[in-house]
A and B are shown apart, each in its own frame.
Chain A
């Protein structure tokens, strides 16, 4: 397995995603002789995982079973260990398209955080692109670099432990796209410009607060960025349900009584109607962040 290439069978050293049930996933580093505890019992890697096909059903010691899934950036996003607030798939999808990422793209990102977006970028730009990611928190930078290695995508990424607002991205004139998820993106706009190709490219900044957006837009305009646009994308999940609506009893219908035969034919009175529909979850995320996009023109 690798996060950028599918394989059919689980091997020693892979990262597999255990699907325990609705919205309950768990990443597992597959190791000969290792065991993983789940709420359905223990999974023995040597017999239960290694050599099995991805997507198989695995029976745990307590008799319950789980599915073992091939890792993807999307599954990783909902199961990864949080070291920071992370970006979720809805925003990631929008960012990927609006930054025009594709195989071969060279991308700069800061901060790396927990690597949720990084994995999605790497998947999209493989096999010929490269990601330069900057994280000023040393421990986080080290941890994420370790993960890239485990996920066999380290050949596509360079992690730099520095402050992007002061030191920039560590590259210049190479990037097709830049992504900023930092508290003061306006301080990094000029570094973004430096990192980007002379021929131009796309930039995106993610900020939770509108004041941050204001300052970023000003900085982008000052630096000559064009096509500045701010959007917000919200995900709505629809829970599929079969609901039953009771029918009120209006009492005997006098008009129907005139024809007793017809009343008999209708048989027992229906008391409810069931239908397949969806309901919104009780609570949904109402805001993640504003996404500001811009184009760097040719310089």
Chain B
């Protein structure tokens, strides 16, 4: 019954993918602030990072095609790369693994039985024995059956063996975050659960360009990485992406908007929303916000955040995950330690409420531009 139910929900979800996009377009058309564009391409020159090859060709890609492109780059150049997970063979339920099976065969791209603890355990065995392994967990909400394998094994593998063995060649990809109607089990943002497991890196990209560069860095990193993909952005985030491989540095945040009054730190799909909030605050309230895309949860870029808060004197952190024990708490405590004398006002966190993620109440649950604008105005008093 559980399996049948989940499959049905997945199929319904897939069918509705385009509906999500249409809904957003509709919102855009009716939005009062018609001067800004929901689909702005992220300016490439604002990205901090480096490339491992020249940009021989650039194409318009959305996030799922960028991730697909990243994996094709890896499989093409590395004969010891493997992708496994539920439904990855036909292209995956979000189409991220499109054409990989066709091109590289069933030994390297394969469906697994439906069992998350098995996926990660099996992937550990492969990664530990020389294979660059990409393990896919279909939804971040279903990563918890593998929690023991990730926390007790993946994270501790190198340490417990004195570096004799490691699973640095393992990258776990999973979908992440709200999507409009995912309810309790297709909307979660579990990054904080894993932030407490010393030994793994955690990454959440906010657009297609970053997704490809960060994923390639994660796959090449000599540490196991958890790569969370904001599923709301799979089709809606469109920008110019090089077709060849390039890497964006892990552990580095990106200042996506300069400002002098308030620092807003966020990641994933909220980055775009916060840029919009910042524009509104600037135009209507004369408040200049600096917006930082954290990108990397573990290790996180404390230098960039610290430098920003030293300038602005105020910090607001926002994330979709619940407030209590969300990763914002870690940022707040650390910045309070380091920037105590610069802070004009208490650090504010605008996050998901401490409830399970609701279906019909999603618009009221989510930290959005309105809530952030509301709180930033209070911070300025």
Q: Are chains A and B native binding partners rather than an unrelated pairing?
A: no
Residue positions of A touching B, CB distance < 8 A: none
Residue positions of B touching A, CB distance < 8 A: none
